[in-house]
Structure 1
Amino acid sequence: MEATQTLARVPVPAMQINRELDRKSSSRSFIEANTSGVPFEEIRRDHIIPVFVKDNEPLISQSDFIAATQEAVADLFRGETILKPEIRVSHPIKGRIPEAKNKPANQLHEWERTLYYERMMFVVEVPTIYDTIGGNTLTLMVGGVKAYNLDNLYNKKGAAEHFKVFIGFQNMVCTNLCVRSDGYVEDLRVTDLNQLREGIYNLLGNYDQHRHLRQMQTLTQYSLTERQFAQLLGRCRMYNYLPPADKKLVPELLYGDSQLNSVTNDYYRDLSFCRQEDGDINLWKLYNLFTGANKSTYIDQFLDRSVNALDFTSQIQDALDNRSASWYLQ
């Protein structure tokens, strides 16, 4: 029942590309939670770089990670419009220079403060590669996560550093990110910038964007009744309380009560993805309710839940198509 999709590529004159490059990816935030937006130049110029404690050697900086991803995107998608990255950060680590160690905090000058953010996520939009699903325009997105809390800073240079890298699509109606497992490296472990670049290139080269779009397109062809939706939400709330042995037999769900509350609320009230008048909701809309609820997730868990939303919804689709049984709909 899969529909064939063809990505649209729009020729863009060189002068227009130059103007587009000054735009930032996404005019609205792709993640909320406790994050704030920062420009790339601020990260590169003002943020200090954590070091390995044993030898004082620096880790790969967040700005180098972003720049390496931009270079790979520009290389592999030549001729396309590529926007400036949108960057979100959280968990600030504040400090001060030694000369200001005895000053009260409210008397510190800006040049006496030091700062870096423990967690950072960014996206780079390629708006000339796009498609439409369920009346929603989706554009290609590439990005990653650097969370220093996942690294062992009490080590020395040469120890593995951890990165998350992804490629997928963003629903421009709501800025929800749509990520599939073959477009996501959950734990890219590297020891230097060259290995990081290689990992980014491998991910981008192996991603099947047409298959991803076909999978999402088929979701528009299946619907849940109001009764089935209520059954599904009830089972979702029960999942985290299942005995460990029973939970192993059920498809994984990474969403907690706060996200499920958002899904329930938006089933009735979301302007783009709410139920129909008879209470039915198609799986494309259901999927977007989950990816929308994911915006309240912290940076280091965001991509795992993004992938889980598609896996979970596709499992529901298989059950409706009688290809498998689903505990969530029993």
Structure 2
Amino acid sequence: MELTAVNHYDTLVKDQNESTNANFMGANTQAIDGEELFHQCIIPSFAKDNESTISHTEFLEVVHQAASSIFSNEQILSPAIRVSHPIKGRIPEAMGKPAKELLEHEKTLYYERMAFILEIPTISETVSNNQLSLTVGGVRAYNLENLYSKKSEERFKIFIGFQNKVCTNLCISTDGFLSSIKVRTTAELLDTALQLFASYKADKQLMQLSALNNYAISEKQFAHLVGKARMYQFLSPPEKKKINPVPINESQISTVVKDYYTDEAFCKNENGDIDLWKLYNLFTGANKSSYIDTFLEREVGCLNFVETLFSVIQGNNENWYLQ
């Protein structure tokens, strides 16, 4: 696998004075400054033909370009970027040199996985006294590519949704998420992002989110939900097929339970009830500990899961988790 140095620095970072909140996820990720990503990280190339991959930098620029085109009259803040799985190397001149003796210019680095968001604060709404700002972003994971082969289609994930400014949780629906984009060029990637952003119905999702505040589950129902969520993983495959899957893992379920009692913004009411908006935010808050690879899918899963509870409360069907 050959590597190519990044040698450009886009104005989307240089000309912006404000930055979106980088706490939209945690897990094993770290926040990285745009300048560091653009200037100090090399990018992988496909080994057999030495063709460059679409870099993290180019991906970010394409999404910014698409957002700027669709929301041309809106303010778009500089990106908040999180990375994980650093891949370290060295220049040929440092061959055989002990690691502790390497000089900074002799080290190379790129990050296998990257997630970013771009906030559009001029498009915002309030749901249950929480300010939501329109947000776009994406995820890239080089581990999904066969970098030891010839250049082929590369995989990306792009979303558009809202960020809750109270807790920095993301609110993403199925209609605002493309989980398996496969492209060869940045032009193809740009076209896909433009189509997603243009077709997204912000009003529809805001109505969906606002409705959650009008329905609640009792403490007993919450206890059923938690217990059944822990039981789900031990069901047989045929039984699981009949049930909407739990979008988060067991440790994250424990976080939801803890925050049900302690979260300042989204804890239970005095009688133990919790409305579905608060419950949804407990789920998306717990999801911040997910790895980059699964983060967006679980975000979408959290909304789908709470929507099934919403349907039950309206009397449309039964739900295994609340029985």
The answer, yes or no, to whether TM exceeds 0.5 is yes
What is the CA-CA distance between 1:129 and the residue it aligns to? 0.3
- Is 1:23 matched up with 2:18? yes
CA distance in 2: counterparts of 1:44 and 1:93, whole angstroms: 16
Please give the secondary structure, in 2, of the residue aligned with 1:277: coil
Counterpart mapping for 1:69-218 below 5 A = 69-157=63-151, 159-218=152-211
CA distance in 2: counterparts of 1:234 and 1:197, whole angstroms: 44
Unaligned segments of structure 2, at least 5 residues: 1-12
Structure 1 runs, 4 residues or longer, greater than 2 Å off: 18-21
CA contact (8 A) 2:247 2:305 kept: no
Q: 1:248 aligns with which of 241, 244, 259?
A: 241
Aligned to 1:59: 53
Report the TM-score, using the length of structure 1 for normalisation. Answer: 0.92
What is the CA-CA distance between 1:20 and the residue it aligns to? 9.4
Q: 2:308 aligns with which of 307, 315, 325?
A: 315
- Is 1:269 matched up with 2:262? yes
CA distance in 2: counterparts of 1:133 and 1:254, whole angstroms: 23
What is the CA-CA distance between 1:32 and the residue it aligns to? 0.6
Report the TM-score, using the length of structure 2 for normalisation. Answer: 0.94
* Matched AA of 2:234: Y
Per-residue CA distance 1:182-207 (angstroms, 9 max, x = gap): 10000100011111111111110111
What is the CA-CA distance between 1:297 and the residue it aligns to? 0.4
CA contact (8 A) 1:89 1:120 kept: yes
How many residues get paired?
311
What is the CA-CA distance between 1:44 and the residue it aligns to? 1.7
Unaligned segments of structure 1, at least 5 residues: 1-17
* Matched AA of 1:36: Q
CA distance in 2: counterparts of 1:109 and 1:136, whole angstroms: 48
Please give the secondary structure, in 2, of the residue aligned with 1:301: helix
Deviates more, 1:96-105 or 1:117-126: 96-105
CA distance in 1: counterparts of 2:178 and 2:206, whole angstroms: 19
Per-residue CA distance 1:135-175 (angstroms, 9 max, x = gap): 10000000000100111212212x11000000000000000
What is the CA-CA distance between 1:79 and the residue it aligns to? 1.7
Counterpart mapping for 1:220-299 below 5 A = 220-299=213-292
CA distance in 2: counterparts of 1:19 and 1:58, whole angstroms: 24
Change (3 A) 1:20 1:274: farther
Please give the secondary structure, in 2, of the residue aligned with 1:95: strand
What is the CA-CA distance between 1:98 and the residue it aligns to? 1.2
Please give the secondary structure, in 2, of the residue aligned with 1:64: helix
CA contact (8 A) 2:173 2:303 kept: yes
CA distance in 2: counterparts of 1:40 and 1:19, whole angstroms: 9
CA distance in 2: counterparts of 1:227 and 1:20, whole angstroms: 52
CA distance in 2: counterparts of 1:77 and 1:56, whole angstroms: 36
* Matched AA of 1:21: Q
Please give the secondary structure, in 2, of the residue aligned with 1:197: helix
CA contact (8 A) 2:63 2:190 kept: yes
Computed over aligned residues only, the root mean square deviation of the Cα atoms, in angstroms, reads 1.3
Please give the secondary structure, in 2, of the residue aligned with 1:300: helix
Please give the secondary structure, in 2, of the residue aligned with 1:221: coil
What is the CA-CA distance between 1:327 and the residue it aligns to? 0.8
Aligned to 1:326: 319
Give the share of equivalent positions with the same residue, in percent.
48
CA distance in 2: counterparts of 1:78 and 1:161, whole angstroms: 28
CA distance in 1: counterparts of 2:104 and 2:51, whole angstroms: 25
